[in-house]
Structure 1
Amino acid sequence: MNSSGRVVLPSAFEDADIDNLALLIADMLERLMAHNDQIPLLAESLTRFHSRAVPSINVLDYLRRIIKFTKVEKTCLLLTLHYVDQICARTPLFTLSSLTCHRFIIASITVCNKGLCDTFCTNSFYARVGGIPVSELNDLEREFLRMIDWRLTCTREVLQEYYINLVRTDSTGRFSILGIDMESTATSRSPSPPAMSPAPVPMSHQHRSIRREASTILIDTATLTPQVPQGPTVEQNMAFADLQKSWGGMESESAPG
Protein backbone atom coordinates (compact mmCIF):
# COMPACT_ATOMS: atom_id res chain seq x y z
CA MET A 1 0.00 0.00 0.00
CA ASN A 2 1.33 3.45 -0.87
CA SER A 3 0.97 6.70 1.07
CA SER A 4 -2.29 7.57 -0.75
CA GLY A 5 -3.97 4.45 0.59
CA ARG A 6 -4.11 2.73 -2.80
CA VAL A 7 -3.10 -0.91 -3.05
CA VAL A 8 -1.17 -2.04 -6.12
CA LEU A 9 -1.64 -5.77 -6.63
CA PRO A 10 0.66 -8.08 -8.60
CA SER A 11 -0.29 -8.84 -12.19
CA ALA A 12 -1.00 -12.54 -11.51
CA PHE A 13 -3.65 -13.63 -9.01
CA GLU A 14 -1.34 -16.38 -7.72
CA ASP A 15 1.02 -13.70 -6.36
CA ALA A 16 -1.67 -11.61 -4.66
CA ASP A 17 -1.99 -11.54 -0.88
CA ILE A 18 -4.82 -13.88 0.08
CA ASP A 19 -6.40 -11.34 2.42
CA ASN A 20 -6.62 -8.84 -0.45
CA LEU A 21 -8.37 -11.53 -2.50
CA ALA A 22 -10.77 -12.08 0.40
CA LEU A 23 -11.48 -8.33 0.55
CA LEU A 24 -12.21 -8.18 -3.18
CA ILE A 25 -14.37 -11.31 -3.21
CA ALA A 26 -16.33 -10.18 -0.16
CA ASP A 27 -16.97 -6.80 -1.78
CA MET A 28 -18.28 -8.48 -4.93
CA LEU A 29 -20.50 -10.91 -3.02
CA GLU A 30 -21.87 -8.23 -0.68
CA ARG A 31 -22.98 -6.16 -3.68
CA LEU A 32 -24.51 -9.23 -5.29
CA MET A 33 -26.36 -10.03 -2.06
CA ALA A 34 -27.58 -6.46 -1.58
CA HIS A 35 -29.29 -6.62 -4.97
CA ASN A 36 -30.65 -10.14 -4.66
CA ASP A 37 -32.06 -9.52 -1.17
CA GLN A 38 -34.57 -7.21 -2.86
CA ILE A 39 -35.95 -10.04 -4.99
CA PRO A 40 -39.08 -11.57 -3.42
CA LEU A 41 -38.43 -15.10 -2.20
CA LEU A 42 -40.63 -17.67 -3.91
CA ALA A 43 -41.31 -21.22 -2.79
CA GLU A 44 -39.84 -22.64 -6.00
CA SER A 45 -36.57 -20.77 -5.47
CA LEU A 46 -35.87 -22.37 -2.08
CA THR A 47 -32.79 -24.59 -1.98
CA ARG A 48 -30.77 -26.44 0.62
CA PHE A 49 -28.56 -23.36 0.79
CA HIS A 50 -31.29 -21.22 2.37
CA SER A 51 -30.91 -20.62 6.10
CA ARG A 52 -33.74 -19.57 8.42
CA ALA A 53 -32.03 -16.31 9.35
CA VAL A 54 -29.17 -14.16 8.12
CA PRO A 55 -25.92 -15.36 9.77
CA SER A 56 -24.43 -12.94 12.31
CA ILE A 57 -20.97 -13.09 10.72
CA ASN A 58 -20.37 -10.98 7.62
CA VAL A 59 -18.96 -12.44 4.40
CA LEU A 60 -15.46 -11.01 4.83
CA ASP A 61 -15.05 -12.35 8.35
CA TYR A 62 -16.48 -15.69 7.22
CA LEU A 63 -13.93 -15.91 4.39
CA ARG A 64 -11.14 -14.95 6.79
CA ARG A 65 -12.24 -17.64 9.22
CA ILE A 66 -12.18 -20.25 6.42
CA ILE A 67 -8.76 -19.06 5.24
CA LYS A 68 -7.34 -19.17 8.76
CA PHE A 69 -8.48 -22.66 9.65
CA THR A 70 -8.51 -24.52 6.31
CA LYS A 71 -5.52 -22.92 4.57
CA VAL A 72 -7.63 -22.69 1.42
CA GLU A 73 -5.72 -21.98 -1.77
CA LYS A 74 -6.23 -18.81 -3.81
CA THR A 75 -7.46 -20.83 -6.78
CA CYS A 76 -10.30 -22.24 -4.70
CA LEU A 77 -11.33 -18.77 -3.53
CA LEU A 78 -11.61 -17.51 -7.11
CA LEU A 79 -13.36 -20.68 -8.22
CA THR A 80 -16.17 -19.76 -5.83
CA LEU A 81 -17.04 -16.93 -8.23
CA HIS A 82 -16.94 -19.31 -11.17
CA TYR A 83 -19.34 -21.60 -9.33
CA VAL A 84 -21.68 -18.66 -8.68
CA ASP A 85 -21.74 -18.03 -12.41
CA GLN A 86 -22.26 -21.68 -13.31
CA ILE A 87 -25.13 -22.25 -10.89
CA CYS A 88 -26.92 -18.95 -11.50
CA ALA A 89 -26.71 -19.42 -15.27
CA ARG A 90 -28.06 -22.97 -15.16
CA THR A 91 -30.59 -22.39 -12.39
CA PRO A 92 -32.07 -18.90 -12.90
CA LEU A 93 -34.29 -19.10 -9.81
CA PHE A 94 -31.27 -19.48 -7.55
CA THR A 95 -29.92 -16.24 -6.10
CA LEU A 96 -26.93 -15.63 -3.92
CA SER A 97 -28.50 -13.73 -1.05
CA SER A 98 -27.98 -13.11 2.64
CA LEU A 99 -29.78 -16.38 3.30
CA THR A 100 -27.69 -18.51 0.90
CA CYS A 101 -24.22 -16.97 0.63
CA HIS A 102 -22.54 -18.47 3.70
CA ARG A 103 -23.70 -22.02 3.03
CA PHE A 104 -22.76 -21.58 -0.63
CA ILE A 105 -19.23 -20.50 0.33
CA ILE A 106 -18.51 -23.36 2.73
CA ALA A 107 -19.95 -25.89 0.27
CA SER A 108 -17.83 -24.39 -2.52
CA ILE A 109 -14.63 -24.50 -0.48
CA THR A 110 -15.32 -28.06 0.66
CA VAL A 111 -16.02 -29.35 -2.85
CA CYS A 112 -13.13 -27.46 -4.44
CA ASN A 113 -10.53 -28.42 -1.85
CA LYS A 114 -11.49 -32.08 -1.93
CA GLY A 115 -11.69 -32.21 -5.71
CA LEU A 116 -8.62 -30.20 -6.71
CA CYS A 117 -6.13 -29.98 -3.84
CA ASP A 118 -3.56 -32.54 -2.72
CA THR A 119 -4.39 -32.00 0.94
CA PHE A 120 -7.78 -31.21 2.41
CA CYS A 121 -9.76 -31.51 5.63
CA THR A 122 -12.61 -33.80 6.60
CA ASN A 123 -16.22 -32.75 6.20
CA SER A 124 -16.62 -32.66 9.97
CA PHE A 125 -13.82 -30.09 10.16
CA TYR A 126 -15.21 -27.97 7.31
CA ALA A 127 -18.62 -28.10 9.02
CA ARG A 128 -17.15 -26.85 12.31
CA VAL A 129 -15.38 -24.01 10.52
CA GLY A 130 -18.55 -23.16 8.58
CA GLY A 131 -20.75 -23.31 11.65
CA ILE A 132 -23.19 -25.95 10.40
CA PRO A 133 -23.83 -29.64 11.27
CA VAL A 134 -21.77 -32.12 9.29
CA SER A 135 -24.94 -33.86 8.07
CA GLU A 136 -26.07 -30.55 6.57
CA LEU A 137 -22.71 -30.02 4.87
CA ASN A 138 -22.92 -33.52 3.39
CA ASP A 139 -26.29 -32.63 1.87
CA LEU A 140 -24.98 -29.30 0.62
CA GLU A 141 -21.97 -30.98 -0.98
CA ARG A 142 -24.16 -33.40 -2.94
CA GLU A 143 -26.51 -30.62 -4.03
CA PHE A 144 -23.62 -28.36 -4.99
CA LEU A 145 -22.02 -31.01 -7.20
CA ARG A 146 -25.35 -31.65 -8.89
CA MET A 147 -25.89 -27.94 -9.55
CA ILE A 148 -22.45 -27.43 -11.10
CA ASP A 149 -22.82 -30.69 -13.05
CA TRP A 150 -19.55 -31.90 -11.44
CA ARG A 151 -17.59 -29.29 -13.40
CA LEU A 152 -15.10 -28.44 -10.70
CA THR A 153 -12.52 -26.46 -12.59
CA CYS A 154 -11.86 -23.94 -15.32
CA THR A 155 -8.75 -22.61 -17.01
CA ARG A 156 -6.17 -20.43 -15.34
CA GLU A 157 -7.02 -17.69 -17.87
CA VAL A 158 -10.62 -17.60 -16.67
CA LEU A 159 -9.53 -17.26 -13.04
CA GLN A 160 -7.20 -14.43 -14.04
CA GLU A 161 -10.18 -12.75 -15.73
CA TYR A 162 -12.13 -12.99 -12.48
CA TYR A 163 -9.19 -11.46 -10.65
CA ILE A 164 -9.04 -8.49 -13.02
CA ASN A 165 -12.82 -8.07 -12.90
CA LEU A 166 -12.78 -8.05 -9.09
CA VAL A 167 -10.28 -5.20 -9.05
CA ARG A 168 -12.01 -3.28 -11.85
CA THR A 169 -15.41 -3.36 -10.12
CA ASP A 170 -14.30 -3.04 -6.48
CA SER A 171 -16.55 -0.50 -4.78
CA THR A 172 -13.76 1.08 -2.72
CA GLY A 173 -11.61 1.95 -5.75
CA ARG A 174 -8.48 1.30 -3.65
CA PHE A 175 -7.03 -1.49 -5.75
CA SER A 176 -5.15 -1.57 -9.03
CA ILE A 177 -3.09 -4.22 -10.78
CA LEU A 178 0.55 -3.65 -11.67
CA GLY A 179 0.97 -3.01 -15.39
CA ILE A 180 -2.75 -3.19 -16.25
CA ASP A 181 -4.86 -0.23 -17.29
CA MET A 182 -8.14 -0.97 -15.51
CA GLU A 183 -10.07 1.53 -17.62
CA SER A 184 -9.08 -0.14 -20.87
CA THR A 185 -9.95 -3.62 -19.60
CA ALA A 186 -13.48 -2.38 -18.96
CA THR A 187 -14.05 -1.60 -22.65
CA SER A 188 -11.80 -4.00 -24.54
CA ARG A 189 -13.45 -7.28 -23.55
CA SER A 190 -15.73 -8.81 -26.15
CA PRO A 191 -18.38 -9.88 -25.53
CA SER A 192 -18.97 -7.67 -22.53
CA PRO A 193 -19.59 -9.54 -19.30
CA PRO A 194 -23.21 -9.71 -18.20
CA ALA A 195 -24.25 -7.05 -15.72
CA MET A 196 -23.97 -8.37 -12.21
CA SER A 197 -27.36 -9.37 -10.84
CA PRO A 198 -29.64 -7.55 -13.27
CA ALA A 199 -32.95 -6.49 -11.80
CA PRO A 200 -35.87 -8.90 -12.17
CA VAL A 201 -38.38 -8.04 -14.88
CA PRO A 202 -42.04 -8.40 -13.85
CA MET A 203 -44.19 -10.50 -16.18
CA SER A 204 -47.93 -10.14 -16.62
CA HIS A 205 -50.07 -10.49 -13.52
CA GLN A 206 -51.59 -13.65 -14.95
CA HIS A 207 -48.25 -15.45 -14.53
CA ARG A 208 -47.85 -14.25 -10.93
CA SER A 209 -44.12 -14.77 -11.15
CA ILE A 210 -40.91 -12.91 -11.76
CA ARG A 211 -38.61 -13.57 -14.67
CA ARG A 212 -35.05 -13.45 -13.45
CA GLU A 213 -31.99 -13.35 -15.63
CA ALA A 214 -28.95 -15.23 -14.37
CA SER A 215 -27.17 -13.39 -11.57
CA THR A 216 -23.80 -13.98 -13.12
CA ILE A 217 -20.56 -12.11 -12.55
CA LEU A 218 -18.45 -12.70 -15.65
CA ILE A 219 -19.44 -15.48 -18.02
CA ASP A 220 -21.41 -15.24 -21.24
CA THR A 221 -24.68 -16.96 -20.34
CA ALA A 222 -25.36 -17.70 -24.02
CA THR A 223 -22.85 -20.54 -23.72
CA LEU A 224 -24.98 -22.31 -21.12
CA THR A 225 -28.39 -23.91 -21.30
CA PRO A 226 -30.40 -22.98 -18.21
CA GLN A 227 -32.75 -25.47 -16.63
CA VAL A 228 -36.43 -24.89 -17.33
CA PRO A 229 -37.99 -23.43 -14.15
CA GLN A 230 -40.72 -25.63 -12.69
CA GLY A 231 -43.30 -25.12 -9.99
CA PRO A 232 -42.39 -25.67 -6.36
CA THR A 233 -42.23 -29.20 -5.03
CA VAL A 234 -44.12 -30.31 -1.93
CA GLU A 235 -40.85 -30.13 0.00
CA GLN A 236 -40.22 -26.55 -1.16
CA ASN A 237 -43.76 -25.48 -0.25
CA MET A 238 -43.41 -26.97 3.22
CA ALA A 239 -39.99 -25.37 3.71
CA PHE A 240 -41.30 -22.03 2.49
CA ALA A 241 -44.22 -22.13 4.91
CA ASP A 242 -41.86 -23.07 7.72
CA LEU A 243 -39.53 -20.20 6.79
CA GLN A 244 -42.38 -17.71 6.76
CA LYS A 245 -43.50 -18.97 10.17
CA SER A 246 -39.99 -18.47 11.57
CA TRP A 247 -39.88 -14.94 10.16
CA GLY A 248 -43.23 -14.21 11.79
CA GLY A 249 -41.89 -15.44 15.11
CA MET A 250 -38.81 -13.23 14.86
CA GLU A 251 -40.96 -10.19 14.02
CA SER A 252 -43.22 -10.77 17.03
CA GLU A 253 -40.20 -11.15 19.32
CA SER A 254 -38.74 -7.87 18.09
CA ALA A 255 -42.05 -5.97 18.29
CA PRO A 256 -42.36 -3.52 21.17
CA GLY A 257 -44.43 -4.78 24.07
Structure 2
Amino acid sequence: MAELENPIVMNKIITFLSSLVQRVAESNDLNSQFQIQKVSVFHGLTIPTISIQSYLERIFKYANCSPSCLIVAYVYLDRFTQKQPSLPINSFNVHRLLITSVMVAAKFMDDMYYNNAYYAKVGGISTAEMNFLEVDFLFGLSFNLNVTPTTFTTYCSYLQREMLLLQPPLDSIDASLSLGKSLKLHLCFDEDDPSHKQQQLAV
Protein backbone atom coordinates (compact mmCIF):
# COMPACT_ATOMS: atom_id res chain seq x y z
CA MET A 1 0.00 0.00 0.00
CA ALA A 2 1.54 3.21 -1.22
CA GLU A 3 0.33 5.27 1.73
CA LEU A 4 2.64 3.27 4.01
CA GLU A 5 5.56 5.11 2.44
CA ASN A 6 4.33 8.37 3.95
CA PRO A 7 6.55 9.19 6.99
CA ILE A 8 3.59 10.67 8.87
CA VAL A 9 1.57 7.50 8.34
CA MET A 10 4.50 5.36 9.44
CA ASN A 11 4.95 7.43 12.60
CA LYS A 12 1.28 6.88 13.38
CA ILE A 13 1.61 3.14 12.76
CA ILE A 14 4.63 2.91 15.06
CA THR A 15 2.82 4.94 17.73
CA PHE A 16 -0.29 2.82 17.50
CA LEU A 17 1.51 -0.52 17.44
CA SER A 18 3.64 0.55 20.39
CA SER A 19 0.57 1.57 22.35
CA LEU A 20 -1.24 -1.65 21.46
CA VAL A 21 1.65 -3.94 22.36
CA GLN A 22 2.36 -2.02 25.57
CA ARG A 23 -1.24 -2.36 26.70
CA VAL A 24 -1.20 -6.08 25.94
CA ALA A 25 2.06 -6.49 27.87
CA GLU A 26 0.77 -4.53 30.88
CA SER A 27 -2.49 -6.50 30.87
CA ASN A 28 -0.62 -9.79 30.82
CA ASP A 29 1.70 -8.56 33.59
CA LEU A 30 -1.37 -8.29 35.78
CA ASN A 31 -2.76 -11.63 34.63
CA SER A 32 0.50 -13.37 35.54
CA GLN A 33 -0.64 -13.16 39.17
CA PHE A 34 -3.56 -15.46 38.37
CA GLN A 35 -2.45 -17.52 35.37
CA ILE A 36 0.65 -19.62 34.89
CA GLN A 37 2.88 -18.33 32.12
CA LYS A 38 5.92 -20.12 30.73
CA VAL A 39 9.35 -18.53 30.86
CA SER A 40 10.97 -18.76 27.43
CA VAL A 41 14.16 -17.60 25.72
CA PHE A 42 12.33 -14.33 25.03
CA HIS A 43 12.01 -13.64 28.75
CA GLY A 44 14.55 -11.17 30.15
CA LEU A 45 15.70 -11.11 33.75
CA THR A 46 14.62 -7.49 34.07
CA ILE A 47 12.28 -5.16 32.20
CA PRO A 48 14.28 -3.06 29.70
CA THR A 49 14.48 0.63 30.52
CA ILE A 50 13.82 1.71 26.92
CA SER A 51 10.14 2.21 26.16
CA ILE A 52 8.39 0.01 23.64
CA GLN A 53 7.80 2.96 21.31
CA SER A 54 11.43 4.11 21.46
CA TYR A 55 12.56 0.55 20.86
CA LEU A 56 10.28 0.11 17.84
CA GLU A 57 11.39 3.47 16.46
CA ARG A 58 15.03 2.38 16.88
CA ILE A 59 14.37 -0.90 15.07
CA PHE A 60 12.61 0.81 12.18
CA LYS A 61 15.32 3.45 11.88
CA TYR A 62 18.41 1.24 11.96
CA ALA A 63 17.06 -2.00 10.47
CA ASN A 64 16.03 -0.11 7.33
CA CYS A 65 13.15 -2.50 6.81
CA SER A 66 10.32 -1.63 4.46
CA PRO A 67 7.06 -0.20 5.86
CA SER A 68 5.32 -3.39 4.79
CA CYS A 69 7.80 -5.34 6.90
CA LEU A 70 6.45 -3.70 10.05
CA ILE A 71 2.91 -4.79 9.21
CA VAL A 72 4.08 -8.35 8.52
CA ALA A 73 5.94 -8.37 11.85
CA TYR A 74 2.63 -7.43 13.50
CA VAL A 75 0.96 -10.37 11.70
CA TYR A 76 3.70 -12.68 12.97
CA LEU A 77 3.26 -11.48 16.55
CA ASP A 78 -0.46 -12.11 16.29
CA ARG A 79 0.12 -15.61 14.93
CA PHE A 80 2.70 -16.34 17.60
CA THR A 81 0.35 -15.39 20.42
CA GLN A 82 -2.40 -17.55 18.94
CA LYS A 83 -0.14 -20.59 18.57
CA GLN A 84 1.64 -20.09 21.92
CA PRO A 85 -1.07 -19.13 24.44
CA SER A 86 1.19 -20.06 27.37
CA LEU A 87 3.76 -17.47 26.18
CA PRO A 88 1.78 -14.22 26.24
CA ILE A 89 3.42 -10.92 25.46
CA ASN A 90 4.51 -9.22 28.68
CA SER A 91 6.97 -6.56 29.80
CA PHE A 92 9.78 -9.10 30.17
CA ASN A 93 9.60 -10.53 26.64
CA VAL A 94 8.02 -7.85 24.45
CA HIS A 95 11.30 -6.25 23.31
CA ARG A 96 12.85 -9.53 22.23
CA LEU A 97 9.65 -10.55 20.46
CA LEU A 98 9.61 -7.26 18.57
CA ILE A 99 13.19 -7.39 17.30
CA THR A 100 12.78 -11.06 16.35
CA SER A 101 9.49 -10.57 14.51
CA VAL A 102 10.87 -7.62 12.54
CA MET A 103 14.05 -9.51 11.65
CA VAL A 104 12.12 -12.55 10.45
CA ALA A 105 9.71 -10.34 8.50
CA ALA A 106 12.59 -8.47 6.86
CA LYS A 107 14.25 -11.70 5.79
CA PHE A 108 11.02 -13.01 4.34
CA MET A 109 9.73 -9.78 2.78
CA ASP A 110 12.62 -7.53 1.80
CA ASP A 111 15.13 -7.94 -0.99
CA MET A 112 17.86 -6.51 1.22
CA TYR A 113 18.35 -7.24 4.90
CA TYR A 114 21.15 -7.48 7.46
CA ASN A 115 22.66 -10.49 9.17
CA ASN A 116 21.72 -11.60 12.66
CA ALA A 117 24.72 -9.89 14.22
CA TYR A 118 23.49 -6.51 12.98
CA TYR A 119 19.92 -7.05 14.24
CA ALA A 120 21.39 -8.14 17.56
CA LYS A 121 23.21 -4.80 17.87
CA VAL A 122 20.04 -2.91 16.98
CA GLY A 123 18.12 -4.90 19.56
CA GLY A 124 20.78 -4.61 22.25
CA ILE A 125 21.36 -8.35 22.63
CA SER A 126 24.14 -10.78 21.72
CA THR A 127 24.35 -12.50 18.35
CA ALA A 128 24.07 -15.90 20.01
CA GLU A 129 20.86 -14.83 21.71
CA MET A 130 19.50 -13.42 18.46
CA ASN A 131 20.13 -16.77 16.81
CA PHE A 132 18.27 -18.63 19.56
CA LEU A 133 15.36 -16.20 19.42
CA GLU A 134 15.02 -16.59 15.68
CA VAL A 135 14.87 -20.38 15.87
CA ASP A 136 12.35 -20.37 18.73
CA PHE A 137 10.20 -17.79 16.97
CA LEU A 138 10.15 -19.80 13.73
CA PHE A 139 9.18 -22.99 15.54
CA GLY A 140 6.60 -21.02 17.53
CA LEU A 141 5.05 -19.96 14.24
CA SER A 142 5.32 -23.50 12.88
CA PHE A 143 7.28 -21.81 10.08
CA ASN A 144 4.05 -20.24 8.83
CA LEU A 145 5.61 -17.11 7.34
CA ASN A 146 3.53 -16.52 4.24
CA VAL A 147 1.19 -13.54 4.44
CA THR A 148 -1.39 -13.43 1.70
CA PRO A 149 -2.43 -10.10 0.13
CA THR A 150 -5.86 -10.56 1.72
CA THR A 151 -4.39 -11.01 5.19
CA PHE A 152 -2.03 -8.07 4.71
CA THR A 153 -4.89 -5.82 3.59
CA THR A 154 -7.04 -6.95 6.51
CA TYR A 155 -4.40 -5.98 9.06
CA CYS A 156 -3.72 -2.68 7.28
CA SER A 157 -7.43 -1.85 7.24
CA TYR A 158 -7.68 -2.62 10.93
CA LEU A 159 -4.74 -0.37 11.72
CA GLN A 160 -6.15 2.44 9.59
CA ARG A 161 -9.48 2.29 11.40
CA GLU A 162 -7.91 2.18 14.84
CA MET A 163 -5.43 4.97 14.15
CA LEU A 164 -8.32 7.34 13.54
CA LEU A 165 -9.08 6.99 17.22
CA LEU A 166 -5.64 8.32 18.09
CA GLN A 167 -6.71 11.84 17.19
CA PRO A 168 -6.40 14.00 19.09
CA PRO A 169 -5.41 12.24 22.34
CA LEU A 170 -3.69 8.88 22.46
CA ASP A 171 -5.83 7.93 25.43
CA SER A 172 -8.87 7.80 23.18
CA ILE A 173 -7.65 4.39 22.08
CA ASP A 174 -9.04 3.05 25.36
CA ALA A 175 -12.48 3.06 23.82
CA SER A 176 -11.41 0.64 21.11
CA LEU A 177 -9.25 -1.78 23.08
CA SER A 178 -10.70 -4.28 25.52
CA LEU A 179 -7.63 -6.22 26.57
CA GLY A 180 -9.01 -7.48 29.85
CA LYS A 181 -7.49 -10.85 30.65
CA SER A 182 -6.47 -11.57 27.07
CA LEU A 183 -3.32 -13.62 26.58
CA LYS A 184 -3.05 -12.50 22.97
CA LEU A 185 -3.05 -9.35 20.91
CA HIS A 186 -6.26 -7.37 20.89
CA LEU A 187 -7.46 -8.66 17.56
CA CYS A 188 -6.84 -12.00 15.90
CA PHE A 189 -7.90 -13.04 12.45
CA ASP A 190 -8.87 -16.58 11.49
CA GLU A 191 -6.75 -16.85 8.38
CA ASP A 192 -8.32 -20.18 7.50
CA ASP A 193 -11.64 -18.43 7.15
CA PRO A 194 -11.82 -16.88 3.66
CA SER A 195 -14.15 -14.19 4.94
CA HIS A 196 -11.47 -13.10 7.46
CA LYS A 197 -14.06 -12.14 10.02
CA GLN A 198 -12.64 -10.56 13.11
CA GLN A 199 -12.62 -12.69 16.22
CA GLN A 200 -13.10 -10.75 19.41
CA LEU A 201 -10.97 -12.15 22.22
CA ALA A 202 -12.57 -13.31 25.42
CA VAL A 203 -12.32 -11.00 28.37
TM-score norm. by structure 2 comes to 0.78
Alpha-carbon shift at residue 147 of structure 1 (Å): 0.6
Deviation digits for residues 51-81 of structure 1 (CA, Å, limit 9, x no counterpart): 1111111111111111111111111111122
Q: Give the alignment partner of residue 39 of structure 1, picking from 27, 31, 40.
A: 31
Aligned-partner residue type, residue 121 of structure 2: R
Q: Which moved more, 1:95-104 or 1:32-41?
A: 32-41
The answer to whether structure 1 residue 218 and structure 2 residue 165 are counterparts is no
CA distance in 1, matches of 2:87, 2:160: 25
Aligned-partner residue type, residue 103 of structure 1: R
Q: 1:43 to 1:138 in 2, by over 3 A?
A: farther
Contact 1:32 1:196 in 2 (8 A): no
Q: Give the alignment partner of residue 124 of structure 1, picking from 108, 117, 127.
A: 117
Q: Give the match for residue 197 of structure 2.
A: none
CA distance in 2, matches of 1:152, 1:137: 18
User: Which secondary structure state, in structure 1, belongs to the residue aligned with residue 139 of structure 2?
Assistant: helix
User: Which secondary structure state, in structure 1, belongs to the residue aligned with residue 189 of structure 2?
Assistant: coil
Q: Give the match for residue 16 of structure 2.
A: 24
Q: Give the match for residue 96 of structure 1.
A: 89
TM-score norm. by structure 1 comes to 0.63
Q: Which runs of 5 or more structure 2 residues have no equivalent in the other structure?
A: 169-175, 194-203
Q: Give the alignment partner of residue 76 of structure 1, picking from 58, 62, 69.
A: 69
Q: 1:50 to 1:62 in 2, by over 3 A?
A: same
Q: 1:222 to 1:215 in 2, by over 3 A?
A: farther
Contact 2:77 2:101 in 1 (8 A): no
User: Which secondary structure state, in structure 1, belongs to the residue aligned with residue 80 of structure 2?
Assistant: helix
Larger-Rg structure: 1
Q: 1:160 to 1:13 in 2, by over 3 A?
A: farther
Deviation digits for residues 78-119 of structure 1 (CA, Å, limit 9, x no counterpart): 112211221111111111111111000111111111222111
Aligned-partner residue type, residue 181 of structure 2: A
User: Which secondary structure state, in structure 2, belongs to the residue aligned with residue 218 of structure 1?
Assistant: strand
Q: Give the match for residue 245 of structure 1.
A: none
Alpha-carbon shift at residue 215 of structure 1 (Å): 4.1
Q: Which runs of 5 or more structure 1 residues have no equivalent in the other structure?
A: 1-10, 176-185, 187-194, 201-211, 224-257
Deviation digits for residues 99-144 of structure 1 (CA, Å, limit 9, x no counterpart): 1110001111111112221111111110001000110000000000
CA distance in 2, matches of 1:39, 1:171: 29
Q: 1:21 to 1:170 in 2, by over 3 A?
A: closer
Q: What is the RMSD computed on CA atoms of the aligned residues?
A: 2.7
Contact 1:66 1:130 in 2 (8 A): yes
Q: Give the match for residue 199 of structure 2.
A: none
